Amino acid sequence: MTVSVVIVAFGDDPRVDDALRSVRAQDIAVSCVVVHNAVAEDDGQRDADGTVHLRNRRNLGFAAGFNLGFQAGDGDFVLSLNPDAQLALGALSAALQALHADAAIGAVALRLVRPDGITLDGAGIRMDWLRRGRDRGIGKPARGAFEEAQDVDAACMAAALFRREALLAARDGAGQVLDARFFAYKEDVDLGWRLRRAGWRVRYVPEARATHERGWKEGARRQVAPQLRALSLGNRWLTIFKNESLLNALLRTVPWIVQELLLAGWLLLREPRTLLGYWHALRGLRGSLCRRKLRGKSAP
């Protein structure tokens, strides 16, 4: 049993050191790969503790960076960890225990709490009927909330553990674990949907805990660059194009139209540049349809 850890960072993010320390403090042996985007030059190096650093001159985004880290590791299990996230003691063991207990579980969503220790950052991702993915409990008091394990639709990749076998099974039609077109946002929702399409379950395990200092917090939408807001909007539709069945799409067509007309009107008044997300989705429509077929084998 081996575990590979993949951390994708922008430049030489100093928070990576704390994230790695939290990994090394676990009672499970791991190998670590840190992918640095937007650094001075392309190269690779290995630290004295065996951590591999892959350095890219361009900012490839999270999805493409994760794919590089995934390919560089060979663990039976793969932990995705953000630089602004840290594992609690025993978190990795708790997540692995859930995977060992049920061979149909392909991913574990960790319980994410803000650094203040009292605010929940997420307890797995749920999609509503209109296919909007949301972190359960985000921004709510953590105490007494979401304390039972249960299946969810996706795992927030700020801290999530996967079977390598499941990630390979859920590769999209382009053969990618994460869709590299998703520069930022919604790549975890897309992956969770593909995992479930391949027959794997995504399990929220509250005993597997981590802290996460989320960049896009509730109520702070205006602090996020308009380009990133547009990507979030467009990537939601690329995810739907890739994964929704024709029957379900037909059932949701009218509600989707109503929802998007209301949203577009609000954006036109408040955030007109975010409307570029619809153009992003239309440009990616053909590519998403080509990626619908999964490349791997279904769950056992």
Tokens of 255: 């509600």
Check residue 136 and give its pLDDT.
97
Length of the chain: 300
Structure tokens at 97: 């225990």
Residue-wise pLDDT for 91-129, tens only, equals: 999 999 999 999 999 999 999 999 999 999 999 999 999
pLDDT at 275 (0 to 100): 94
In one-letter notation, the amino acid at residue 7 is I
Mark out the alpha helices in the chain (DSSP H runs).
15-24, 61-72, 91-101, 164-169, 187-197, 226-243, 246-270, 276-283, 285-290
CA distance linking residue 70 with residue 291, whole number of Å: 19
Whether the Cβ atoms of residue 241 and residue 285 lie closer than 8 Å to each other:
yes
Q: What is the pTM of this model?
A: 0.94
CA–CA gap between residue 143 and residue 147 (Å, rounded): 9
Q: What is the pLDDT of residue 300?
A: 67
What does the domain layout of the chain look like in residue ranges?
3-212, 221-290
- Listed as ranges, residues in the chain with pLDDT below 50 are none
Which fold, 3-212? Spore Coat Polysaccharide Biosynthesis Protein SpsA; Chain A (3.90.550)
Task: Give a three-class secondary structure readout of 200-214.
Answer: CEEEEEEEEEEEECC
Residue 5 tokens read as 């850890």
Residues 85/210, Cβ–Cβ less than 8 Å: yes
